[in-house]
Amino acid sequence: MLYPQSNPFRQSVDLSGIWDFRFDPEHHGAASGWTNGLTNARPIAVPASWNDQFEDGRDYLGDAWYQTRFDLPLGFDPARQQIRLRFGSVNYIAEAWLNGGRLGLHEGGHLPFEFDVTAHLKREGNVLVVRVNGELAFDRVPPGNIAPELTIAKEEKFPAASFDFFPFCGIHRPVVLYAIPRDALDDVTVTTDLADTRGIVRVRVARAMRDGVARAALTGHGANISAETSGDELELNVPNAALWAPGAPNLYDLTIQVVRNGTTFDRYTLPIGIRTIRVTGDALLLNGKPVYLKGFGRHEDFAISGRGLAPAVNVKDFALMQWINANSFRTSHYPYSEQQMDLADRLGILVIDETPAVGLFFAEQGLARRFELCRQMTRELIARDKNHPCVIAWSVANEPNSVHPNAPAFFRNLYDLAKSLDATRPVTLVSNKGLQEESFDFMDLLCLNRYYGWYTQIGQIELGAGELSQELDAMYAKWHKPLIFTEFGADTLPGHHAQPPEMFSEEYQVEMLTRDIQVLRSKPFVVGEHVWNMCDFKTAQGVRRVNGMNYKGVFTRDRRPKMAAHRLRELWVAKG
Ligand code: GCB
C-alpha cells in the first residue's frame, strides 16, 4: 500500500480538523438515518481519541459516529481518475458511508485501510459518516473482557482490557482523500542487499497497466542510476553504496514511473535505505556487523489527544531518543503511525515492528476469529511497512498466554506467513514465558520480558539480577539464539527519593536498570536492552495503577527526565 502523495500525477488532501460527533450507546444511529448525516452533533478533533476530549465518555468504548463535509478540490476528477479515501487508523471497528452510500467496514485498530470512492463523489457537498466501535471483546485482537474461565487469572481493571494501556478509541490518524491515475502504480516492494561495497536494490512493482514499462531511477549520494522493465521486477546496482545505519541514516530517492509510448502515466517517489539485517549464530548483524539494541518499548500516548497522531510529540520523542543515545525501539503493542516510521528512517532509529496482538489467549472460544485477525493484521502491517529500512524485525505478538497446546501451531502459522511476505527480516515473538515458550523453537530471535526486582523478588534488586542471569543462560543453553531483553523496569514516581533505594523511588529505578544492564552485558548472546517504558503512560484503572497510570517511564508523560534517564544516557553512550 503506497502512502498518498502529491505530484503532477497524484493529488491528496488531508481531511483532518474539527468533525461532528455523537455517542450512540443505544446503537440506534443506523435506524435513525445517521448514515446520511448527523443531527445534534458536537465538535470533535480528528485525529485524536475521543476519550479525553469531553467531560463525559472517558470510559465509553461503544458505538460513536463521526461526520465531515468536503468539496472536491480543484484537480480532482472522478471521470478521469481513481479517488480513494484512506484512514490511517481507527480503533477498533470503522464502518463508513459517503453521501449515504456504504463504503465498507474495517476491523483492527492500528493499521490503514482505504475505499475506492470514485463512484460516490459529488463535486460539492460530500458528506462522510463513520461509525466507530471500540468495545473490548474476547474475539477481537487485542482481546478484552475475557471471562476468567477462558484464560489465566487477570487482575481486575476498568475498562476490562487484557492489556496494560488505556483502550483509547476513535479516528487516530489522518483521513486522506487522494486521486491517482486509472493506470496507476499499485504497489512497490523494495529489498536491498550488498555485494562488497556494491548495493543491490531490487524493486517489484504492481501496476494496473499491463503494456508499457516501469522505469526506476535512484538518486542521492552522487548516484543517478536507472533501469526499466516491461515486467514486474528490476534491479539497480549502486557502486560504493552509502549504507543506511544508526548514526548514518543515508537515504536515496527511488522514483518509479509507469510509461507507455514515451508518455508517463504515473509517478511515485519513496525514500529507501540500502542495508541488510540478518541473524547469524548468536548475533544480529546490520550490514554484516553485530548491532546491539539500546532503547525502549514505547506507547503512542499523550494527554488529551490520547492515541491520536501528535506530530510535535513524535518529533520530541525522537529528539529524546537521540539525546539519551538510544538506537532503537519496539512498537509495543501495536503498529505506530507512518509518521513515526518515516522519522525512524530519517533519523536512523532501528524498529522492531509489532502487530496489535497483545494479551492473546488460546481457549477455543473465539480462537478461529482471533487467528484470522492476527493473519490479517500481519499482512496489513508488512504491506504498510515493508519498504522502511528502519524495520529490522517483525514481532507477531506480545506476551501471549501461550502455555497452551493451541499456541505453537498458531504462531508457526504467523511466522510462516510473515516469512512468505518478507523473507529479508527476522521474525520474533515477545514473551514472558521464558523456557516454557515453545514457539521459540522456530522464531529467528528471542525477545524476553521480565520484571525481576519488581513483580517478583519484590524490593530485592540483587536477588532479581541473579534470577535474570540464570534464566538467560538457561534460555541460551536451550535455543542457542540471540536474545533481546524487550522489557524490564520499575514504576517510579517522579520526585520520590529513598536511600537506600526503595520501590517507586527514582533511586530504585536507577539501581534496577543499572544492575540488569550489567547482567545483560555479561552475556554475549544478548543483543539488545529495551527498557520498559520510555514515558509514563495511561492505563485502565486498577489497584496496581495509581492515577490510572503506568509509571515505568524513564520520562514522565509530559517528557521530563527522571534520574534514570541521565543514567541510561551515560550507559548508552559507550555501548556501540
Ligand atoms: C508487561 C507488558 C506491558 C506492561 C508491563 C508492566 O509485561 O508487556 O504491556 O505495561 O508489563 O508494566 O506491567
Q: Can you tell me which atom of ligand 1 is nearest the CA of 544? A: 13
> Are 391 and 428 a contacting pair, CB within 8 Å?
no
pLDDT of residue 210: 81
Q: What residues are in contact with ligand 1 under a 6 Å CB criterion?
A: 164, 333, 398-399, 432, 449, 487, 532, 550, 552
pLDDT of residue 147: 75
Report CA(228)–ligand 1 centroid distance (Å): 49
Mean pLDDT of 278-301: 97
| Start-to-end C-alpha separation, the chain | 35
For 418-433, what is each residue's pLDDT tens digit?
999 999 999 999 999 9
pLDDT of residue 575: 74
pLDDT averaged over the chain? 96
CA 251 to chain centre: 21
pLDDT of residue 183: 86
Cα(304)–Cα(490) distance, integer angstroms: 25
Q: What percent of the chain has pLDDT over 90?
A: 95
For 121-155, what is each residue's pLDDT tens digit?
999 999 999 999 999 999 999 998 877 777 655 56
Say which amino acid occupies 89: S
For 394-413, what is each residue's pLDDT tens digit?
999 999 999 999 999 999 99
Report CA(117)–ligand 1 centroid distance (Å): 41
CA 44 to chain centre: 25
Residue where the block lists cell 523473507: 423
Mean pLDDT of 66-90: 97
Report CA(455)–ligand 1 centroid distance (Å): 10
pLDDT of residue 576: 65
Report CA(164)–ligand 1 centroid distance (Å): 6
> Are 292 and 243 a contacting pair, CB within 8 Å?
no
Q: Can you tell me which atom of ligand 1 is nearest the CA of 491? A: 12
| Helix (H) or strand (E) segment spanning residue 477 | helix 461-479
Catalytically annotated residues: 399, 487
What's the pLDDT band for 83 if we cut at 50, 70, 90? Answer: very high
DSSP string, 264-312: EEEEEEEEE----EEEETTEEEETTEE--EEEEE----BTTTBTS--HH
Residue 264 has pLDDT above 60, yes or no: yes
Report CA dihedral (174, 177, 179, 183) to the nearest 10 degrees: 70
Report CA(2)–ligand 1 centroid distance (Å): 33
Ligand 1, atom 2: nearest CA belongs to which residue?
164
Residue 416 has pLDDT above 90, yes or no: yes
Pocket test for ligand 1, best of 154, 360, 399 (most atoms within 8 A of CB): 399
Residue 519 has pLDDT above 70, yes or no: yes
> Are 504 and 493 a contacting pair, CB within 8 Å?
yes
Residue 492 has pLDDT above 60, yes or no: yes
Count of Cβ atoms closer than 10 Å to residue 305 Cβ? 20
Cα(382)–Cα(27) distance, integer angstroms: 34
Q: Can you tell me which atom of ligand 1 is nearest the CA of 399? A: 8
Pocket test for ligand 1, best of 360, 532, 549, 554 (most atoms within 8 A of CB): 532
Cell of 243: 549504507
pLDDT of residue 152: 57
Cα(288)–Cα(278) distance, integer angstroms: 8
Cα(378)–Cα(359) distance, integer angstroms: 16
Q: Is the peptide bond before 500 cis (omega within 30 degrees of 0)?
A: yes
pLDDT of residue 208: 82
For 355-399, what is each residue's pLDDT tens digit?
999 999 999 999 999 999 999 999 999 999 999 999 999 999 999
CA 373 to chain centre: 16
Ligand 1, atom 10: nearest CA belongs to which residue?
164
Ligand 1, atom 3: nearest CA belongs to which residue?
164
For 532-550, what is each residue's pLDDT tens digit?
999 999 999 999 999 999 9
Mean pLDDT of 486-515: 98
> Are 297 and 530 a contacting pair, CB within 8 Å?
yes
Q: What percent of the chain has pLDDT over 70?
A: 99
pLDDT of residue 154: 58
Q: Out of 259-263, 327-331, 385-389, 408-412, which region has the weakest mean confidence (pLDDT)? A: 259-263
